[in-house]
């Protein structure tokens, strides 16, 4: 790809950020010094002269003509698409089952993959220091995986942590993410110039069912306006 006048980064700004359709998946962050994730928002720190346009290639919203909702509606029939099998499950470990959101299956899969050495680490999402500002976290041990179990119903820029882990040479990574983040992973794998090599480091992808995610800044403001304080359990 050829760069003229910061074209790749500018296209991402115009097509996604300025239109307010960024899903805050974090896929464009952590690749280079020009983007950052600050308090729940993707921020542009500087103009980027790179000619790879990876940020644009990774973005799951860059190709959308309308808004995400309009695009969803245009899929029409409301089915979940192709699948191999559907299972109902919950963790056989009581602690994992209790701490997990709906039975702890996701955490169990990660713990099992770590114990069997399928993965050496996993990118998951924690609750943030105030319990209301979720962010990606690279974890390695069963207890770290379990500490991040449960759902934070907000966008968390989690894939920024994956990008940084790959940049730092991490191998055999597991990733838990929302559908938009799984879509970004698919785009990463097809991206130039190094998508396949980067994605080879990801050994396990677990996509969560999700139809929406809150903007946690607005949630914080909503709670503050009602003088709701203290730790948020769920």
Ligand X SMILES: Cc1cc2nc3c(=O)[nH]c(=O)nc-3n(C[C@H](O)[C@H](O)[C@H](O)COP(=O)(O)OP(=O)(O)OC[C@H]3O[C@@H](n4cnc5c(N)ncnc54)[C@H](O)[C@@H]3O)c2cc1C
We find the least distance from the C-beta atom of residue 136 to ligand X, in angstroms, to be 8
For ligand X, give the closer residue by CB, 67 or 194.
Answer: 67
Q: Please say which residue, 38 or 102, places its beta carbon nearer to ligand X.
A: 102
What is the smallest separation between the CB atom of 206 and ligand X, expressed in angstroms?
7
As measured in angstroms, the least distance from the Cβ of 110 to ligand X is 7
Cα–Cα dist 58/52, whole Å = 11
* Minimum distance from residue 227 beta carbon to ligand X (Å): 25
The whole-angstrom separation of Cα 75 and Cα 70 is: 9
In this structure, the number of other CB atoms found within 10 A of the CB of residue 44 comes to 16
Instruction: Name the minimum Å distance from CB 88 to ligand X.
Output: 11
Q: How many CB atoms lie within 10 A of CB 47?
A: 11
The distance of closest approach from Cβ of residue 173 to ligand X in the complex, given in angstroms and rounded to an integer, is 13
The residue among 110 and 199 lying less far from ligand X, judged by its C-beta, is: 110
Start-to-end CA distance of the chain, whole Å, equals 45
Least distance between ligand X and beta carbon 89 (Å): 8
Positions that interact with ligand X (CB under 6 A): 100-107, 124-125, 134, 148-154, 156, 158, 176-178, 208-211, 213
Nearer to ligand X, 50 or 103 (CB): 103
- Distance, in Å, from the CA atom of 112 to the CA atom of 142, rounded to the nearest integer, reads 9
Torsions phi, psi of 39, nearest 5?
Answer: 45, 50
Distances in whole angstroms, Cα of residue 211 to Cα of each of 34, 70, 71, 183: 30, 13, 13, 14
Residues with Cβ < 8 Å from 64, sequence gap 6 or more? 15, 21, 71
Helices then strands, each counted (H, E), the chain: 10, 6
**Polymer length in residues for the chain:** 234
Nearer to ligand X, 4 or 211 (CB): 211
The nearer residue to ligand X, 212 or 226, going by C-beta atoms, is 212
Nearer to ligand X, 156 or 162 (CB): 156
Both tokens of residue 140?
């390695």
């Amino acid at each position: 790809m050829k760069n003229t006048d910061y074209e790749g980064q500018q296209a991402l700004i115009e097509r996604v950020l300025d239109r307010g359709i960024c899903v805050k998946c974090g896929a464009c962050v952590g690749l280079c010094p020009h983007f950052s994730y600050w308090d729940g928002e993707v921020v542009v720190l500087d103009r980027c002269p790179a000619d790879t346009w990876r940020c644009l290639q990774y973005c799951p919203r860059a190709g959308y003509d309308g808004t995400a909702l309009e695009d969803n509606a245009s899929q029409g029939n409301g089915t979940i698409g192709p699948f191999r099998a559907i299972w109902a499950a919950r963790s056989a470990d009581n602690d994992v089952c209790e701490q997990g959101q709906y039975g702890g299956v996701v955490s169990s899969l990660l713990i099992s993959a770590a114990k069997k050495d399928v993965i050496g680490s996993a990118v998951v999402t924690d609750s943030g220091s105030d319990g209301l500002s979720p962010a990606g976290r690279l974890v390695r041990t069963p207890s770290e995986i379990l500490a991040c179990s449960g759902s934070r119903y907000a966008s968390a820029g989690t894939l920024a942590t994956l990008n940084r882990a790959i940049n730092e040479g991490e191998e055999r990574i597991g990733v838990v993410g929302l559908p938009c983040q799984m879509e970004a992973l698919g785009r990463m794998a097809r991206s130039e110039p190094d998508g396949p090599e980067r994605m080879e480091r990801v050994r396990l992808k677990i996509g969560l069912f999700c139809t929406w995610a809150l903007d946690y800044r607005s949630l914080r403001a909503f709670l503050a306006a009602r003088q709701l304080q203290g730790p948020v359990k769920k």
